[in-house]
Every structure is written in C-alpha cells, then in structure tokens.
A and B are shown apart, each in its own frame.
Chain A
C-alpha cells in the first residue's frame, strides 16, 4: 500500500522528528515492512506491505494508529462536523444481515465549476497512484479511502428510480459496472438496488447507470458496513479486486460508518459548495464483541518471560482495546476496527509486537522424549545419491509435470487420474509416470551445449493411476549418454553401452530384471523404484563370517568359445560341475574378439578361478584336476582351451 509521508504525519505529528530510514524500521518492527521508498517525486511515498489479516491498517490513519501505539504518541483528532440524523429523504431498506448499517446523505451540487478538487487533494491522489477525476464526490470518496480506510460511494440521485435497498441479487439480474463491463450477477452477490434493479455491487464497485458525472445535480452518498465474506466472494467471483473490496473484504470499521459519511459531506460542502439536504442512517452497528480472557500464564508462556500485566494492559489500551484487569489476567475487547483479535494468542502477539520482537529472549526447548531415527526412505535417497555422484553422475531436479506426449513415451499407463485441472499449459499438464522424459530432455540440452559425457540422475516421485487418485512412488531415474572415459591418460574413450547401465544398477544393489531403455544412439535410460533396491542392513557392522586362513590358489583359463555363447550360462555350468571343489570365485576378467587373432565366429574369454579350502593347503595336483573339470564343463557349450 502506498503511504504519503506528509499525509501520515498529519495523522501522527510526532513522526516529523523521525528520519525516513528510522520510520521504515519502526514500521517493519510492528509488522509493516516497507518494500520501497520513493523520495524523488513531489511527495515522498512509501510502499508498505500490509498482511492479509490487517485490513484496518490499509490507510494512513490505520498505520498511524499502530505507530502511535508503538511510539506511545498521540494521534491527531479527526476534523469532522458530525451531522444530526434526519428523516429519510429516500427509502433505504436493508434486506440482509450482511449489511447491518447504511449511512447516507443527500446533497445538492453546484456543478458550475469544472474542477472542484483542491490542488493538495489532487497531489495526494496522484501520490496514491489514482488520478483525480475533477469530480468532487468521486475524488473526495477516494481521498477519504486512502486517508481513513473506509470506502464510500456517491450515486447521482437524479438517476435513482424509487427507493434504495441492499439485497441479494436475483437470478438473471445483470449490472453494467463502472469499469464498463456487463456482469451477470449471482444470487450470492449482495447489491444495492433501486426499483429498476441493481445499481451497485455492494462493497465492490458502483454501477454505470447511476454514476456521478459533471452534470450531476444531486448526490446520494453511501457509507456502510458490508460483511467481509460476502464482499470477498463477490470480488473473487467477478475478478474485481478494487480498493473498496480489498478493505471491506478484510473488515471495515462499523464505528466509522457515520464519520466517513460526515467527512464526505464536509468535503462536498467545502470543495464544491454543496448544500446538505439531509443525512440519515439505517440499521445500526454490531453489538459489542465479546471479550477475551488473557491469562498471565499464556502471555508469559508465549513471551518466554514474565510480562507485567500493567504493561500488557497499557499496550492494549494504546491499541484501542477495552481492558479490565483481574487477579491473574486481563479481560479484553478489541477496538471496532480490529477483526483479527479473538483468542489470547492474538492479543499476546500484539503485546509482543508493540513491545518489540527484539525483546524476545532465546532458549532451546528441552528434549522430553527420545529422538526418532531418520526414516529409511530419506536415508536411502541420501546414500544412493552420494554413491551415484561417486560414479560420476550429476543429480538433477526437474518439474513434476510434463506434456501428455512426453509422458506417453515412457509411462505407459492411463493419464486420466494424473492430469491437472488447471495446468500452466498443456506442456505442464500431466503428473509424470516416468522420470525418463524429463531426464532425456535435460541430457539433450546438455548435448546441445557440447557435453560429450552426460550422466544424469534424479530421485523423485512418479505417479501411477489408481482407483482413489494418483499413486506416488519414489523412483531413481538415470540417463547416460555419449561417451565414457578419456578423463585421464589411462582410460580410453568409448561410447556408452547398455552394459554400463546394468553395471550401475548392480552396483546400487538392484538384483531384479532390468530394463535398460534405448533413448538414442549411445544414450540409455534406466528407472528403478526405490523399493526394489536393497534394504540397508539393520546392523552397524554385519555378522562375522568365517574366512579361510589357508592360501588361495588362482588359475586363469583361456577359453575359445562361440561368439553367441552367454557367459552367464557357461559360468553356471562350470559352477555346478564343481560343487565339490572349494571354488571361492569365478570371474571373466578379459574378453578378446580380435578377428585377426581369433577364428571367425569365436571369441576368447579369460576366466579366473580361485580355490581355497577351509581345512588345508591345496595341492597343485588337485587344483589341476578341478581346472580340467572346468574345461570339461565348457565343452558342451563349444568351449575349448585356447592354444
């Protein structure tokens, strides 16, 4: 909200002696941070942030009230001539409780002078970012709103048909509003209506048919209280967040209804030489709100220290509350402009706020129960991502929603229950069923930037359709594209292969069936649900497993085998042939496929066998016999010893 320094000073003169910088600090410390200050223009203006619960502070007077409480300084008296309530000059009926009070006046305007708004008011309106219209009823209403926070409205009385009532809109009714838009009203919209139908959307905006123009001879004023929920709903329904709807929507001050009318009357008389024909009010302000008990216990607990009840009471009085002390606490009623004070904590906040949050001490709460361990899911993600970075992978973060096409490429189940109602666009409309599309996008972008070795992973939820809504599961997605190696003089460069991804999956402890997705040439993807990865062992140190203290004997076996033979098959044949031998380990350590050295259709495997007994040192002779057993087991597969 824009605040003109001079206008603020008019409400609370003491700030004249405070620098702008210090004033901004004070405002921030009572909950109204200043986003920016504009001291370049004719009038110095602050852009002040007001939280949604403080509709009462959306004016110069409102902010001044809080500053006055903080600085314990007086507010200026409001200069106004109270009007006596007359007989109604026009019938005004309130047909709904959502408008408990409606104060009005009828004035005759002398509309000969073209620009009725005084220069200082025009400057003020400009500083507020609102252009003066030159029409006294409009400009005065706006000026009052920014100064005192209470929205008012002026109708051209000559354009009214019959009496006025505040009621709910009827189905099918429309209203051409001041912004030139024809609006279809809802039965939950509160309107001001005359005999012809709605003439204003209550608390939001006036109607075009009754607007004040330079030809207006008589005005009918409106200063009322409209219930916040109703105004908020109408504003939202019609997308009309006006100065009036924002203030009524957060709660206006019922006690200020008549004053606002009187201020408007005063201005019309002094600015435009208007003649008051009569002022009257329908309904009455709400009955006094019930009090809240603030016990010293709650106050001290919230504050973290003992607060003297006298000090608390003084602060609340400065804020405009009615306060009564009793033995162990205070009984408080909020001022009519505050709609955010109802429970003891609300008042405690205000007491601390005005005392200054800087007075709050520091303490660490004591630990009553035992702390819980970190959940498995979190620890697993943490361990996994660290392992993957050690393996050369870059962790990525991508958006959870993608386009239906991108999703369909890798997800493969129905998108119906994963689709958003109101996405930012089609490309962000489906909660993804696979991470691969996003990861491959990122990989391609890296390729375009010239990266040769692209290793990306993400751990994030994917969505699957289920009967009661989308089902989230955490998965690990990996994309590896381009080439591998070349980082140092000993590691040759080669294209990435499927086997590289399988190796990663095995390294991470995945034992199940693996589906490596071919994304492009030398580009592969892999997706593993975290639930399929090895559970961490419960024990800090695994159970002891005995190991042999006798020497291990290693034998290498160079076998010539058909190209199409699977190593896994051969290995299991050799293992089962040697069940009785103390074979500790069997592993293929080298593969030759050089056509110059090896017959066509063949390859050579160097298979390393390790033998070790738990009972004794092995003899060369028995080892040779086991090696022969291995050679024999290879024969049915077409394997022969390489000469």
Chain B
C-alpha cells in the first residue's frame, strides 16, 4: 500500500501502531489508543478525513481507499486486542470467584459447655431410658431436710459449723452439704400418691457446699448427682444391676463395677462402688494407683427410717439411692490435675475439656 499520498505524521503513526497496541496491557489503554487513532476528533482518522476533504477531486477516490484500509487495519487490531484482554479479565474474575476451601471457613466462632454440665447432662441421658426424671431442690436447705430426714444423728459431726455453712439470720437454714435432701423433699411430696405412681425414681443433680478450703482437691462448692428409686421388693441386686448398666453406658462395655461395704446413715446396707479403671481398663495406672479400680460413688438401700420420716411404709416399699461427685469423675476422666481449674473458667481450659455435644 502506498502511504506516500498521506502526510508523514500519519505514516509515522501507522508505523508505531503495531508496537503501541502490543504495549496495551489493559482495556483502558486500548480505549485510549482507540481514541487517539480512531476517535471522532483530533485522532489520526479524523485528520485523515480532513485531508481527504481538502484533497483534489481526482485524488479522492484513491486516497479514500488508502484511508479506509488504514482505518480497518487499526479497528481490527484494536478489536482483537480488546477481546483478548477481556478474556484475560474474565479468567481472572473467574479465579477470584473460587473460594479457597483450605481457608478458615466463614462459620461463627464456637463456644463450649462446661465439662461439669456436660457430665451431668450425660448422666441424665444415661438414666433416662430407665425411667428416671430430674428433680431439683434449693441450695439453701433446712436442717430437717439436709440431716434429720436422712437419719443423720443430731450430734453428727457433719452438722457442726466446722463442716457446714449456716445462714447468719436463720439458724436452721444451711447450704446443703449433699444433694440427698432432694430425696427427702421428693419422697415427702410423693408419699401420699406412691400407690398410684407405682414407685419413685429420679436423678437430682446440683451444687452442694462443704466447709473445705480451696486447694487442688477440695472446693467449698462442688456438684453431686443423686439417684433414688423406691419400689416394691427392691434389693441390692437392683442397685447393682442399675449401676452396672449406668457405668457401662457412661464408660463403655468394659466398665465392670464392684461393691464394697461402707456406711452412710441414710442407707442400710451401704456400699462404695468401684468401677474398673476407665483409663487403663484394669491393668493398673496412675489414676487407679495400680489397683485397676477407681472409687466412683456411694450407694445403698434406703434406710427404713428415711422412708418412715417421709411417711412411706418401709414394710411395703423399699428402695436404693446413690450419689456421686461430679468433679471427682470429671477429674478422673479428663485427668485434670487441679480441681480449681473447673471454677477458674479460663477459656483455654474450657476449650480443651469442654465441648458442644
């Protein structure tokens, strides 16, 4: 093509065009270049049109052809560059829309239940299929419910102010030292309707208080879960069968139990219950002090005096009761070395031993 009929300025622009279009790395640059070459005003195309207008008539046709060819070349090149860059942009956008699944997922942060609550709730779940419901009582109890109704003699050392917290203004009111007063409340309440109900069975979880200084194994406040069943012809084998089921449900099928004779004023016979060490399976470890067994709870058949106190005829009805220390079991299972950690509520500790269920 002969460009000599055009001014050198245009010739030079055309020579530069290929380099300029290659140098455009984004769509804006392409648009700017398009403006400079093909824009309506001040562009090379506009200048060429001016030249065409001013040229003599006989040259017009030839010049027109040259100009058109030039403009078409430019337009084609710009269009192709544009679509190439648009494709790059599309690809880039597509990439940015893909979420890296290995990044932290956009979920709300998680909290945890306190390990003691979890254990209590688990115990409730364990006993639920046996027909136990939940009963609760106040922490501020009467001496009658906390001691008298449980066959605890009037001069029992546990009643002393060295062991039990009393209220300043109400000498007969104390902070319950165990969850057993819930037994007294419930059997008193249900005594008149025990025939219709066909018996009593419940769990009583709760907070209890004893006058112990705070140290790695003692706390003046801790949790117990009490269980009670009253029925007809209840014996030690029923207690054993129930606890055997419960411990296996809690710790797994290897969790055998054994009874050892013991004494609590509100049961007769009384026993302490050991479970085959859930940590070593009975082969001996630090937790079970190499014995293969860990003491897990106290239990026994409800003392006839306790039933009588509540107005239930012990010749017709008998029952069993058991009580366990929640912290003790939680410490054993989690191997937490210091009881105080359960009450300090350090989020790091809770995150480690708590959970969500």
Contact A365 B343 (CB under 8 A): no
Residues of A within 8 Å of B271, CB to CB, are 357
**Cβ–Cβ contact A431 & B140, under 8 A:** yes
1/0 per residue, CB under 8 A from A, across B97-130: the answer is 0000001111111111110110001001000101
- Is B356 located at the chain interface by the 8 A CB criterion? yes
From B10-18, B36-44, B58-66, B344-352, the one touching the partner chain is B344-352
CB <8 Å contact, B108 and A357: no
- A352 interface residue (CB < 8 Å to B): yes
B50 contacts the other chain (Cβ, under 8 Å)? no
Q: Mark A110-148, 1 if CB is under 8 A from B, else 0.
A: 000000000000000000000000000000000000000
Taking a contact as CB atoms under 8 Å apart, the answer to whether A348 and B173 are in contact is no
Establish whether residues A360 and B347, one from each chain, have CB atoms under 8 Å apart when the complex forms: no
Bound-complex Cα distance A376 to B135 (A): 11
Are the CB atoms of B303 and A345 closer together than 8 Å?
yes
Interface size on B, residues (CB 8 A): 95
Which residues in A have their C-beta under 8 angstroms from that of B121?
382
Closest residue of chain B to A379 (Cβ to Cβ) is B134
User: Contact partner of A488 among B106, B135, B170, CB < 8 A?
Assistant: B106
Say if the beta carbon of B5 comes within 8 Å of chain A. Answer: no
Chain B residues near A391 (CB-CB < 8 A)? 108, 111
Q: Is the CB of B134 within 8 A of A374?
A: yes
Q: Contact partner of B167 among A361, A367, A420, CB < 8 A?
A: A420
Tell me, yes or no, whether A321 is within 8 Å of chain B by CB.
no
Residue contact A304 to B236, C-beta cutoff 8 Å: yes
Beta-carbon contact of B241 and A364 below 8 Å? yes
B240 to A362, Cβ gap below 8 A?
Answer: yes
Stretch at the interface among B26-34, B75-83, B85-93, B205-213: B205-213
Q: Given known contacts A394-B350, A397-B114, is B108 in contact with A360 (CB within 8 Å)?
A: no
**Would you call B318 and A374 a contact (CB within 8 A)?**
no
**Which residue on chain B has the smallest CB distance to residue A348?**
B269
User: Which of A312-320, A331-339, A421-429, A589-597 participates in binding chain B?
Assistant: A421-429
Cβ-based interface call for A446 (8 A): yes
Per-residue interface assignment for chain A, residues 334 to 369, with 1 indicating a CB less than 8 Å from any chain B CB and 0 otherwise = 000000100101101100110001101111111111
- Given contacts A365-B231, A489-B104, A360 and B114 within 8 Å (CB-CB): no
- Determine whether the beta carbon of A400 is less than 8 Å from that of B139: yes
Which residue of chain A has its CB nearest to the CB of B135?
A: A375
For chains A and B in complex, what number of residue pairs have CB atoms within 8 angstroms? 262
Q: Are B207 and A302 in contact (CB under 8 A)?
A: no
User: Contact between B104 and A487 (Cβ–Cβ < 8 Å)?
Assistant: yes
In the complex, identify which listed stretch (B177-185, B253-261, B279-287) lies at the interface while the others stay far away.
B253-261
Cα A28 to Cα B167 in complex, Å, equals 39
Please indicate which of the listed interface residues B167, B171, B344 has the most CB atoms of chain A within 10 Å of its own CB: B167
Tell me which of B106, B138, B231 contacts A472 (CB under 8 A).
B138
A29 lies within 8 A of chain B by Cβ: yes
Q: Is the CB of A343 within 8 A of B268?
A: yes
Q: B170–A399 contact, CB under 8 A?
A: no
In the complex, what's the smallest C-beta–C-beta distance from A384 to chain B, in angstroms?
A: 11
Cα distance A484–B325 when bound, in Å?
Answer: 37
**A305 and B106 form a contact (CB under 8 A):** no
Interface: B192 (CB within 8 A): no
- Min C-beta distance of A281 to chain B, whole Å: 29
Min distance, Cβ B332 to any Cβ of chain A, angstroms: 17
- Interface pair B354/A395, CB less than 8 Å apart: yes
- Looking across the interface, which residue of chain A has its beta carbon closest to that of B241? A362
Residue of B nearest to A344 (CB): B304
Query: Does A398 reach chain B (CB closer than 8 Å)?
Result: yes
Q: A51-B262, A360-B240, A422-B161 are in contact. Are A446 and B347 (CB under 8 A)?
A: yes
Task: Select A490's contact among B106, B134, B233, B242, beta carbons within 8 Å.
Answer: B106
Contact residues in A for B95 (Cβ distance below 8 Å):
none
Question: Is A416 engaged at the interface, CB distance under 8 Å to the other chain?
Answer: yes
Bin the interface of chain A by size.
35 or more
Asked if B130 and A400 sit within 8 Å, CB to CB, the answer is: no
B143 beta carbon closer than 8 Å to chain A: no
User: What residues of A have a CB within 8 angstroms of the CB of B167 in the complex?
Assistant: 417-421, 469-470
Contact check, A364 vs B157: say whether CB atoms are below 8 A apart. no
The interface-forming segment of A171-179, A229-237, A566-574 is A229-237
CB distance from A526 to the nearest CB of B (A): 15
Is B7 in the interface zone, CB < 8 Å from A? no
B111 lies within 8 A of A395 (CB): yes
Cβ < 8 Å to B, chain A residues 420-474: 420-424, 428, 431, 442, 445-446, 449, 451, 453-456, 460-461, 463, 469-470, 472
Judge if A182 is at the interface, Cβ distance under 8 Å.
Answer: no
Query: Once the chains bind, are B345 and A397 in contact (CB under 8 Å)?
Result: yes
Do B139 and A472 touch (CB < 8 A)?
A: yes
Contact yes or no, B116 A397, CB < 8 A: yes
A396 CB within 8 Å of chain B:
yes
Judge whether A365 and B213 touch: CB under 8 Å.
no
CB-CB under 8 A from A422, the residues of chain B are 161, 165-166, 211
> Bound state CA distance, A450 and B173, in angstroms?
42
The verdict on A163 contacting chain B, using a C-beta distance below 8 Å, is: no
Could you give, for residues 124-160 of chain B, a 1 whenever the CB lies within 8 Å of some chain A CB and a 0 otherwise? 1000101111111011100000000000000101001
- Is A534 located at the chain interface by the 8 A CB criterion? no
* Binary contact readout B189-210 vs A (1 if CB under 8 angstroms, 0 otherwise): 0000000111101100001010
**Residues on A with beta carbons closer than 8 Å to the beta carbon of B235:** 300-304
| CA distance in complex: A374, B112 (Å) | 23
**Chain A residue nearest in CB terms to B305:** A343
- Please tell me if the beta carbons of B173 and A469 are within 8 angstroms of each other in the complex: yes
**In the complex, how many angstroms separate the beta carbon of B122 from the nearest chain A beta carbon?**
11
| Complex contact B213–A301 (CB within 8 A) | no
Given the known inter-chain contacts A389-B356, A392-B110, please indicate yes or no for A345 contacting B140, CB distance below 8 A.
no
Residue of B107, B160, B221, B236 ringed by the most chain A CB atoms within 10 A = B236
A491 contacts the other chain (CB 8 A): yes
CB within 8 Å of B: which A377-423 residues: 377-378, 382, 385-386, 388-401, 416-423
Are B345 and A369 neighbours in the complex by a CB distance under 8 Å?
no
Give the nearest-CB partner of A21 in chain B: B291
Are A393 and B111 neighbours in the complex by a CB distance under 8 Å? yes
B169 within 8 A of A: yes
Given A301-B235, A301-B318, A421:B161 Cβ within 8 A: yes
- When distances are taken between beta carbons in the complex, the residues of chain A under 8 Å from B357 are 386
* Given A390-B111, A395-B117, A420-B165, 14 other A-B residues pairs in contact with their CB atoms under 8 A: A349-B269, A352-B236, A353-B261, A362-B237, A363-B241, A364-B245, A369-B197, A372-B202, A388-B111, A391-B111, A394-B111, A419-B169, A422-B161, A445-B344
A-B contact pairs, 23 of them (CB 8 A): A343-B268, A343-B304, A349-B270, A352-B261, A365-B234, A365-B242, A369-B196, A371-B131, A382-B121, A389-B112, A390-B356, A398-B345, A399-B220, A399-B343, A418-B167, A421-B161, A431-B175, A442-B345, A445-B344, A445-B345, A451-B347, A469-B169, A488-B105
The 10 A-B residue pairs with the shortest CB-CB distance, nearest first, are A304-B237, A368-B198, A369-B198, A349-B269, A31-B261, A51-B263, A371-B131, A362-B241, A357-B259, A396-B345
